[in-house]
Structure 1
Amino acid sequence: MTLPTLTVRYFAGARAAANGTRDEAVDAATLDELKVLLTDRHGERLGVVLKAASFLVDGLTCHDQSAPLPTGATVDILPPFAGG
């Protein structure tokens, strides 16, 4: 089985936790799989952020972390923001 290649974009605290990475290509089938892969790649600091983050898949909020991701999708990682 070939995994979908995704573009992952990091914002705010997620970018800081990924050591300043703005975006990168990743092969993952679901958001659950993506979170594990990114934690392994960048460390537990990012893993903590990913547990609280929101995810946009091609601009749409994705709540089902086990749903299949389409090949070529862009996944935006948005940590919780302070303020109001």
Structure 2
Amino acid sequence: MTSAPTLVVRYFAAARAAAGVPEETVPGAGSLDALAGALADRHGARLATVLTMASFLVDGVAWHDRRAPLPAGATVDVLPPFAGG
């Protein structure tokens, strides 16, 4: 018996605060849009708002096409806009 593919999602800064966890393993999602929807359902409106503004890395590579299929077993980094001085 094989298990369903999963993704590791790592949250940074405001995304971490909104999700309430630094990292989690979730069932594989077809695309970044699908993943964002599942994460918003899991963690609520605050994270949903952050996800609309966030940038994403998939296995360390900037991922711009939110409808492109995510690779099974990928690590997705959620990077909200950062402010600095």
Given the two structures, how large is their TM-score scaled by the length of structure 1?
0.92
1:22-52, Cα deviation, whole Å (9 max, x unpaired): 1111121110000000000000000000000
Instruction: Specify the code of the residue in structure 1 equivalent to 2:13.
Output: A
Structure possessing the higher radius of gyration over alpha carbons:
2
- Cα pair 1:4 1:70 within 8 Å, conserved: no
Instruction: Specify the code of the residue in structure 1 equivalent to 2:73.
Output: G
- Say which SS state the counterpart of residue 47 (structure 1) adopts: helix
Partner of residue 75, structure 1: 76
Unaligned residue ranges in structure 1 (runs of 5+):
none
- Say which SS state the counterpart of residue 38 (structure 1) adopts: helix
Distance 1:46 1:8, change over 3 A: same
Q: Number of aligned residue pairs: give it.
A: 82
Q: Please tell me the root mean square deviation across aligned C-alpha atoms, in Å.
A: 1.4
Unaligned residue ranges in structure 2 (runs of 5+):
none
Partner of residue 37, structure 2: 36
CA shift, 1:66, in A, is 0.4
Instruction: Specify the code of the residue in structure 1 equivalent to 2:70.
Output: L
Instruction: Specify the code of the residue in structure 2 equivalent to 1:66.
Output: R
Stretches of 4+ moved more than 2 A in 1? none
User: Structure 2 CA distance, aligned partners of 1:14 and 1:8?
Assistant: 11
CA shift, 1:3, in A, is 6.3
User: Structure 2 CA distance, aligned partners of 1:3 and 1:57?
Assistant: 19
